[in-house]
Amino acid sequence: MNAINRPRIPAIIKRPDLVNPAKRSILAIIAAIGWILWMYLIMPLAAVLAWWFGYQRLDLFILVDPVRTAQTL
């Protein structure tokens, strides 16, 4: 196989210890922010679906009687 067809640097690093620690930490922070945003967007949808399927315990125990909820904490 000739060198023109082969990439010089592989697309995937198979040795994570070769990645710069600063770059690794920045990528971890970006991934964490992505997960937080994903959860922020999905949780209202999950709440609507749960409500639609009849899950009303949150409404009965927390929203209707907040004083009792505060006392139990």
pLDDT digits (tens, 9 = 90+) for 10-46: 677 677 788 889 999 999 999 999 999 999 988 888 8
Answer yes or no: is 53 within a domain.
yes
Asked if 19 and 13 count as a contact pair (C-beta separation under 8 A), the reply is yes
Q: Over range 61-70, report the average pLDDT.
A: 65
The structure's pTM equals 0.49
- Which has the closest alpha carbon to 47: 34, 31, 58? 58
Which pLDDT belongs to residue 58? 62
Q: How many domains does the chain have?
A: 1
Which pLDDT belongs to residue 60? 63
Which pLDDT belongs to residue 32? 97
For residue 63, pLDDT beyond 90:
no
Answer yes or no: is 31 within a domain.
yes
Answer yes or no: is 2 within a domain.
no
User: Domain range holding 29?
Assistant: 21-72
